Each structure stands twice: as C-alpha cells, then as structure tokens.
Amino acid sequence: MMSDGKIHIPARKKEPVAGQQVIRITAEAYNELVEIYNESSLSMKEIVSLIILQSIDRIVYDKED
C-alpha cells in the first residue's frame, strides 16, 4: 500500500458507455457500503457514484514498463 494518499490502480483500457452498468464488488467492500448507507439518506447507487466521482483526482494509474 502506498503512503502518498493516492489510490493506485493498475492501468488498462475499456471503452466508455452511455447507460447504467452493473458491477460486482467484494463482500468486504459491500459491507463497508452498507455501513455508509445506514448513515446516509442516499441510495447505494448515489453513494457509490459520489465516492467514485469525488475520488477521481486521487487515482494514479500504475503502468507496467
């Protein structure tokens, strides 16, 4: 785990889409989402969307050389 305050993700390419998509998450991530949901008035979809959109500037793509 890096200590630079960034979210490190391996780089790869996928094409963007226009409509809603379904993804699967780990049980651990889902349980954390439930904790957030239980303290919020937002839907799970809205919470996850906010988390992703507000984290964009913290993401670093680690490209293999």
Low-confidence stretches of the chain (pLDDT < 70) are 1-2, 65
Which pLDDT value is given to residue 65? 63
Q: Give pLDDT, residue 52.
A: 95
pLDDT at 23: 93
Percent of the chain with pLDDT over 90: 74
- Which among 5, 8, 14, 15 is positioned nearest to 61, based on CA atoms? 8
pLDDT for the residue numbered 55? 94
CA–CA distance, 12 with 21 (Å, rounded to integer): 18
